[in-house]
Amino acid sequence: MNKYTNVSDYHSSVLQDNVILEHYGLNELNFESVKQYREKFAAAKPNHPWNGLETKEFLYKIGAWGKLRNSSKEGITVAGLLMFSEERIITEILPQYFLEYREIGAASTNGWTKRFTSQDGTWSGNVYDFYFKVIDHIGADDVLLLPALHEAVINALVHADYSGEGGIVIEKEQNVYRFSNPGLLRIPIESVWIGGMSHLRNPNLFKMFILIGLCKRAGSGLNDIESIWKERQWKQPEFIQQLNPDRTILTLTTQRRDIIFSDETAVSFETDDQELVIQHIDNELDSWLGEQIDNFVNSESNSINNDFNSINNAHNFINKESNSLNSVLDSVNKQPNSVNKGSDSVTNKPKSVNNENGEDRMEIDESLWQMAELARKKKRLHPTIMEQMILQLCSIKPLMLKELAHLLDRTADGLRNNYLAKLLEEGKVQLKYPEQPNHPRQAYMTTQDS
């Protein structure tokens, strides 16, 4: 199908980016964006014959304008709309369309230090302008990284399903860059880093970036990123595929792999040798965790997921008074140099979570705080135990990411990448507001609570 007669038809299926919108003319374009594109095209190809064409013919050549062969009708293509129109007009055709960039600085504890979206009304809101606004900010700290970050931004823009939920979100934190777009990869995830393979969702959009020198051949960009990360011995770039709604998330961490052994990498360390999981922990806690791993992981009859001996079972529950870490007889806190001694104790942390303005938003329930005590005491906790702890917490009440991070004393990024994405994909947890992924009070809950 290559033409539509009314707007409602546009919403009936996922639009290919070469679809012609016959009722949308040149007046729907942001001419400043078109002008800047033509200037960059001329700079990249100064002797190209298209430089002398009228606007409509130029747009036709690059794929932003289309003509219906079986009639005299013509109009903007979906790719042209995305690239050169304005947010208000784009959302008439693609209601879920949304672009966002945000930064969290090293000294920031509440909210973002920089943020702009396609809806803020201070710029066009189209894909072309978004690319340049992002590039102006994202590579400011390390110019040598800019080529790799450019590839990641382009990848998100040309592979996005603009009919999907959540929009494109690009985040910059200390040592972490995250590129999230609606839609799943169209090639096997194990083939992503090989190079030479690509199945573009928006080939016309890709062509427009190629024509001004911002793209190379399809399938090479991600391979280039991996090469840079290997050369610097940084943590392997990571792709995560989320379902319902479908999303692809690329995470780039700019720290060496052997330096990162912090909470988010340690808790995700999978091995059959349980001694590696609990090394370098004090002897008393080592002994306790070793028994728990033997009981919870290696013994089928005492499996974590076994109803009788579950972590949550009243007889073997972590917080059972007689066996608890907080027990009068066995408590680690009883020792003179206890990790929990003094005003800086993990268990003495304020049991509250602040909102983005730094104001006290709520008090953490005492039972939840006690339930998560083991995670706060042990920075290297077996992944299976951590998953069960998250499920137990979310079964009591829906919890926001910030609340979970506070309860477990982990970074939000580590929890999201190492646990919550996996639990969402497996259907063990779900979003409180599944239709609004960016809801300001988004929370995680176990599926039986729905």
Domains detected in the chain: 7-92 (no CATH), 96-253 (3.30.565.60), 272-449 (no CATH)
Quote the pLDDT of residue 422.
86
- Cross-strand bridge partners of residue 446: 429
DSSP state of 399: B
**Locate tokens 């090989």: which residue?**
194
Rounded Cα–Cα distance for residues 269 and 418 (Å): 10
pLDDT (tens, 9 = 90+) of the chain, 450 residues, equals: 333 433 333 343 457 899 999 899 999 999 999 999 999 999 999 999 999 999 999 999 999 999 988 888 899 999 999 999 999 999 999 999 999 999 987 655 556 789 999 999 999 999 999 999 999 999 777 777 888 899 999 999 999 999 999 999 999 988 899 999 999 887 776 666 665 556 789 999 999 999 999 876 655 567 778 878 888 888 888 888 888 889 999 999 988 765 544 444 444 443 433 444 334 334 444 444 455 445 444 444 444 444 444 444 444 443 444 444 344 334 434 444 443 444 344 444 455 555 444 444 456 788 899 889 888 888 777 788 888 899 989 999 999 999 999 999 999 888 888 889 888 888 889 999 988 888 889 999 998 655
The long-range contacts involving 251-254, CB below 8 angstroms and separated by at least 24 positions, are 251/176, 251/177, 251/178, 251/179, 251/417, 252/148, 252/149, 252/152, 252/176, 252/177, 252/178, 252/179, 252/225, 253/175, 253/176, 254/142, 254/145, 254/175, 254/176, 254/177
Rounded Cα–Cα distance for residues 125 and 98 (Å): 8
What pLDDT digit, counting tens, does each position of 146-200 carry? 888 999 999 999 999 999 999 999 999 888 999 999 998 877 766 666 655 567 8
**Locate tokens 């080592």: which residue?**
286
Sign of the dihedral defined by the CA atoms of residues 395, 401, 402, 408, in that order: positive
